[in-house]
Amino acid sequence: MPGIFFLSGETALNEDNEEEATINLSTMNSLFAGKLPWHLSFSYGKALQKTCIVTWLGKAENDAAAQKALKARANANSDAVFGKYKKGSCASVGTDGNVMQAAGPY
């Protein structure tokens, strides 16, 4: 089996799904680093995209800021794959973003 991937984005509205998924992935990888016969990751849906989408909201003038947010979360998740993510080190729109994303262009 090449890998196990879990869904990242479906959490309660009062939870920051991006941050929680990144923390969870990092914790699992730090606990089992080098001990599993497969790659452990997640599907990167909402947990990769939320801050990016809420930052962008379909407006061309927000493109650069949204791309910066996406790159930052991608780097955070890269750290998490190696069990090295530090909680709170990547900016997120937090729980307010859950509602804004649901109402946005996503």
Is the Cβ–Cβ distance between 15 and 51 less than 8 Å? Answer: no
The set of residues, in sequence order, having a beta carbon less than 8 Å from that of 20 and lying 6+ positions away, is: 11, 47
* Residue 30: inside a domain: yes
Number of structural domains (the chain) is 1
Domain that holds residue 61: 3-92
* Residue 87: inside a domain: yes
Looking at residue 80, what is its pLDDT? 92
pTM of the predicted structure, to 2 decimals: 0.81
Q: Which residues pair with 5 in a beta bridge?
A: 41
Per-residue model confidence as pLDDT tens digits over 36-78? 888 888 777 777 888 888 899 899 999 999 999 999 999 999 9
* Residue 98: inside a domain: no
